[in-house]
Amino acid sequence: MRTSRIPTLDAYITTALARTGLSAQERAVIDNLRMEERVGDARLNRYGEVFRGKSVTSVDDLYGLQRNYAIQYLEIDPSEADIPDTFAPDNAANAWHHIDDRLYLLRMEDVGFALRGSKIDIAELELAVRTRDGAVLKRFCDSWNDWRDRRPAFATTEIAVEDILKDAGDDWPNTLRDFLGLGSYNPTSHVAPIPVLLMRYTVAEVLADKSSGTPGFVIPTVIDGRLNPFFFPTPHPAPDSDAAKYEIGRAVNLRPVTTQSEYRMGMELVHSRIAYKPEHIWRLGRVSRPLTGDLAILRSLHLAWLQLEADRNDFGAP
């Protein structure tokens, strides 16, 4: 991303990179902004507006300013006429077209977040999922949908993870968390396991849902959500190469490995809002294992595979 067009952001990046002892997470955030290629001029202008008149002297400032962008341009209430920036016409270059309507998508959701303001508690929801109690699940979905906004949803395809889910068994929440780079689900010795839902729905259902304003699918960028050190930008493939068929979002796999041969990239996409129904609730489990991988190492392995897959040895170069 051409951060030079946002002087305060560019100055912060230059200063931060000159410091010693930069944390892996802060370095990841900076590198993501520098490497991003898929934010066009119109979106960059809107992103830059939130920096106007604001100083950026710390990574906390940066997190706050991107939060402001997300609130204004992504987290749109369904009652409003606007649509998220992600699905604006000037982001059409990142759109996914000709996706098979029958394809199943999977998305992990935080149960605690979903139950916000609900009269249903975790015990009742867990029993309802286990017994497929349609009445309770409908009350839960209706309550959840009432306050959910139109923010872009990061998801994967069932095909991309079906072997992982099969091999993981009951450990699927930890395994899927790692494979999809969902680093925000990180219980520690002082925090209880995090209950999560695995949602399952079709491409056709997303495209048919008018609550999104403009249904669609895109390759994710660094500004399609709040700032996230576990995200990694997807390069444009090299011109006139076969790499175009790999032009999909790639998630950083957080499973601890140290060699390129052990590393396997995750697959991700972003889609427009879908109003959840009881039949979309597929599984409920708990992320119980803290992250233990070295983020810097995992990101370097990820970059190497991205360069190979996209035929872009120059991607990510200083």
pLDDT at residue 6, rounded to an integer: 97
Which pLDDT score, from 0 to 100, does residue 246 have? Answer: 62
**The predicted structure's pLDDT at residue 288:** 97
CA 228 vs. chain centroid, Å, equals 8
CB 217 within 8 A of CB 95: yes
| Residue whose token pair is 């962008």 | 69
pTM here is 0.95
pLDDT given at position 244: 66
The pLDDT assigned to 145 comes to: 96
Domain layout of the chain by residue ranges: 3-85, 96-310
Helix/strand/coil for 287? strand
Question: Per-residue pLDDT for the chain (318 aa), expressed as one digit of tens each?
Answer: 999 999 999 999 999 999 999 999 999 999 999 999 999 999 999 999 999 999 999 999 999 999 999 999 999 999 999 999 999 999 999 998 778 999 999 999 999 999 998 999 999 999 999 999 999 999 999 999 999 999 999 999 999 999 999 999 999 999 999 999 999 999 987 789 999 999 999 999 999 998 888 899 999 999 999 999 999 999 999 888 776 666 789 999 999 999 999 999 999 999 999 999 999 999 999 999 999 999 999 999 999 999 999 999 999 987
Give the C-alpha separation, 83 to 257, whole Å: 40
Distance, C-alpha 312 to centroid of its chain: 23
Q: What are phi and psi of 195, to 5 degrees?
A: -70, 135
**Per-residue confidence (pLDDT) for residue 131, from 0 to 100:** 98
Reported as half-sphere exposure (CB side, CA atoms, 13 A), residue 94 has a value of 28
Supply φ then ψ for residue 94, to 5 degrees: -95, 0
What is the rounded CA–CA span in Å between residue 88 and residue 142? 27
Q: What is the pLDDT of residue 211?
A: 85
Helix (H) or strand (E) holding 284, with range, is: strand 281-287
Buried/exposed 41-66: b ≥16 CB within 10 Å, e otherwise: eebbebbbebbeeeebeebebbeebb
Q: What residues have CB less than 8 Å from 69, skipping those under 6 apart?
A: 46, 47, 50, 223
Which pLDDT does position 187 carry in this prediction?
96
Q: Report d(CA 245, CA 202) in Å as an integer.
A: 22
Contact predicate 56/66, CB 8 Å:
no
CA 172/CA 140 separation, integer angstroms = 23
